Amino acid sequence: MTQSPDPFASFDALDSFTVTVEYARSRTTFLARVNGRQDPVVRAHKETHYGGARLYTVTAGPALTQCVGYVNEWEAWLPDRAPVGSVERKSRTDGADHWTFAQRGLGELTGEPVGAANRLRLASPTRTAFDTAQVNNILSHRLRFGSDASEGFEFARPAGIRSHYEVTVHDPRVSRLLLFSCLTQFNRFVASDPRKNLVDLASNPLKD
């Protein structure tokens, strides 16, 4: 009997990939691709506005039909709903936001802006002048998460009005599920994208 391939084997092996986001009034989808290929290898999807309370179902494997877990903007769970960890962002007006990526079995990773330009733009007092939707569209973002015990991972949102992400995993122990939770939080609360504004005008995020 031929066994179905394990979706976790390929999902947890992803160490470099890009993520695009699709918005609609009643659905939101994140799609991960590798090596510039057209077909996505991971999909995080929910049948609601991007600000709706439902969980994203994350699928991988052949035709993206196998569930590998669930995420929202703060937490991630395995298919059996066992918790993986949490992501927290504390917004600051006097410097860069404080990001914490707390994964069970790996500990707590701290997210910091990468590059002199990123650090300067997010520092006080320049943050007030530069942290606007218009500026965010023309400047890139890059965050690196790590600790003394883990090389962690990093992701970048390249400059442009449409949010998309470039992800690099440095520690194979990093949960890709929790990483997707981190991306959804950054995308919802930090990244600017005119498509979100259009969805806001056409839907009620409280109506799930």
The DSSP letter of residue 47 is: S
Q: Is the pLDDT of residue 7 over 90?
A: no
**Is pLDDT larger for residue 60 or for residue 122?**
60
CA 120 – CA 126 distance, rounded (Å): 7
Q: Using DSSP, state whether 33 is helix, strand or coil.
A: strand
Distance of CA 90 to the CA centre of its chain: 16
Contacts with 126 (C-beta within 8 Å, 6 or more apart), sequence order? 120
β-strand 141-147 against 164-169: which pairing, if any? Answer: unpaired
Average pLDDT over residues 96-125: 80
User: Which position has the higher pLDDT, 124 or 71?
Assistant: 71
- Is the bond into 125 cis (omega within 30 degrees of 0)? yes
Q: What is the pLDDT, as a whole number, of residue 131?
A: 53
- The confidence score (pLDDT) of residue 174 equals 98
Contacts 24+ apart (CB under 8 A), 112-119: 112/143, 112/144, 112/145, 113/141, 113/142, 113/143, 113/144, 114/142, 114/143, 114/144, 114/154, 114/156, 115/142, 118/142
Which helix (H) or strand (E) segment holds residue 34: the answer is none
**3-class secondary structure, 145:** strand
Assess whether pLDDT exceeds 90 at residue 202.
no
| 183-205-20 Cα angle (round to 5) | 30
Instruction: Quickly state the pLDDT bin for 88 (edges 50, 70, 90).
Output: very high
Write b or e for each residue in 130-161: b if 16 or more Cβ atoms lie within 10 A of its Cβ, otherwise e.
ebeeeebbeeebbbbbbeeebbbbbbbbeeee
**What is the C-alpha to C-alpha distance for residues 167 and 174, in angstroms, rounded to an integer?**
12
